[in-house]
Structure 1
Amino acid sequence: MKIGTDGVLLGSWIPLTDNETSILDVGTGTGVIALMLAQRSNAEIVDAIEIDPDAYEQAVENFENSPWGDRLFCYHASFQEFFNEIEESYDVIVSNPPFFTEDFKSDNPQRSVARFEDALPFEHLLYGVSRLLSKQGRFAMILPYTEEESILNLAATYTLFPEKITRVRGAAATPIKRSMIVFGRSEKTFEEEELTIEISRHQYTPEYVALTKAFYLKM
């Protein structure tokens, strides 16, 4: 599967401190976000979950071939199976979840599993996060801007509250397309900001370059 802008954005943007010891990437695909967080942090444990067998094998290979292979581990399981069996907690949980609608379903069933919300309903995602997140932990996700309000309301039912929201535009003249949200367990005033990716086609804004340049060979 190709590396998407959403994954690069989320992996670059998640606020990290020097205190995280464990990270979990839910639905890692080929492992890009987990690898980015291993690069950005000193966490001793960077776990990932992937249900698709081909993507899982690619993630394992990518982890083994990276400089952080001793800290990365991928589980071949659904998130539902994982959170019902694992007793450990994580300081950071991240997910670039599937969120396409029925109208856009692919004829390729593997692609559908990776891309569609019915493979991991938001209710299951947030419930699992609420079980696995440490007391001071944070959960970060990216989703369509149109889903932001409903996710905030749903997350509150699992006592997960926003700490930071960054809304993303492709270009200055285009509508907001994505919301990146960091949740914590305490309800408080949260930070809000906007990020624009491009000035023109393949001409990136200074803000986007500053955020992501550590992960591109040419930026």
Structure 2
Amino acid sequence: MSDVFHFKQFQVAQQGAAMKVGTDSVLLGAWAPLPESPGQLLDVGSGNGLLGLMLAQRCPSGDIEAVEVDPGAYVCCVENFEASPWADRLFCYHCSWEEFVAESAGPYDMIISNPPFHPEQVSSHEPARERARREASLPFNSLLEGVDRLLAEQGLFSVVVPFASEADFTKLAAALGLYPQKVLRVRGRAGAPVKRSLMAFGRTQVRHTPGELVIEEARHRYTDDYKNLTRDFYLKM
């Protein structure tokens, strides 16, 4: 299998990054609402840089920064940024989220994150240890506290979380004055359990009705909603 994933306007080399190109990030990058006239955008836990690249494609202007603590993923992200058509607008910092928050002036008009922990996706021979390692790398409270500090007053924060964590995440965010503006719940197939929640937060309380997206009608037969959302990115969509 090739270590390079080709999209319509860019490619993502994945060697060195533990987290490969996946549906969660593609959905989040395509779905996340953009603020008006975004100037500064931030990807937290950039991995291979996919979300930053998707934002660069969607935003004709604005600078996109990223932060990644893992050395291999950081190198991979930088290489993908530099090889893209938007190299002059993309930059990745190599540090922990806590270090970045302490040193960054902000504010950011948009912050986006696919946090590097999904407790139900444990494949290690030591599942408890692997789960602890993932959850400790970017806990919800640490992520949200940093977002609260760096997000502009009219800014938007978008994230993908396991559906089982949606309520807890929303409660933690509300305690910091961050409220859902838009929510999309994702099922693999019709009738299957909801697996993911895509969520966009802002500093104002608004009425919102969660939407729903089904990815496949049957194996490798994608729904029109999924194709319409991702067609600007996937080569064969």
* TM-score (normalizing by structure 2): 0.86
Residue 139 of structure 1 is aligned with which of 157, 167, 185?
Answer: 157
Residues 1:7 and 1:88: Cα distance change in structure 2 (over 3 Å) = same
Q: Is the 8 A contact 1:27 1:49 kept in 2?
A: yes
User: How far has the Cα of 1:87 moved from its partner?
Assistant: 0.9
Residue 187 of structure 1 is aligned with which of 179, 201, 205?
Answer: 205
Q: Is the 8 A contact 1:11 1:36 kept in 2?
A: yes
Q: Is the 8 A contact 2:117 2:138 kept in 1?
A: no
Correspondence for 2:183:
165
- Measured on the aligned residues, the alpha-carbon RMSD in Å equals 1.8
Residue 198 of structure 1 is aligned with which of 195, 203, 216?
Answer: 216
SS in structure 1 opposite 2:210?
A: strand
Correspondence for 1:39:
57
Residues 1:178 and 1:24: Cα distance change in structure 2 (over 3 Å) = same
Correspondence for 1:152:
170
Correspondence for 2:37:
19
CA distance in 1, matches of 2:38, 2:121: 40
CA distance in 1, matches of 2:30, 2:121: 30
User: How far has the Cα of 1:169 moved from its partner?
Assistant: 0.3
Q: Which runs of 5+ in 2 are unaligned?
A: 1-18
Q: Is the 8 A contact 2:35 2:109 kept in 1?
A: no
The correspondence of residues 27-176 of structure 1 with structure 2, limited to 5 A, is: 27-101=45-119, 104=122, 106=124, 116-176=134-194
Residues 1:134 and 1:175: Cα distance change in structure 2 (over 3 Å) = same
SS in structure 1 opposite 2:115?
A: coil
Structure 1 runs (4+) deviating above 3 angstroms are 105-108
SS in structure 1 opposite 2:88?
A: coil
Which range moved further: 64-73 or 98-107?
A: 98-107
**Paired-residue identity, %:** 51
Q: Which runs of 5+ in 1 are unaligned?
A: none
CA distance in 2, matches of 1:137, 1:39: 19
For each residue in 1:100-139, what CA deviation from the matched residue of structure 2 results, as whole angstroms up to 9, or x when unmatched?
A: 339926479xxx69x8121111100000000000000000
CA distance in 1, matches of 2:20, 2:119: 20
Which range moved further: 169-178 or 96-105?
A: 96-105
Which residue identity is paired with 2:90?
A: L
Which residue identity is paired with 2:81?
A: F
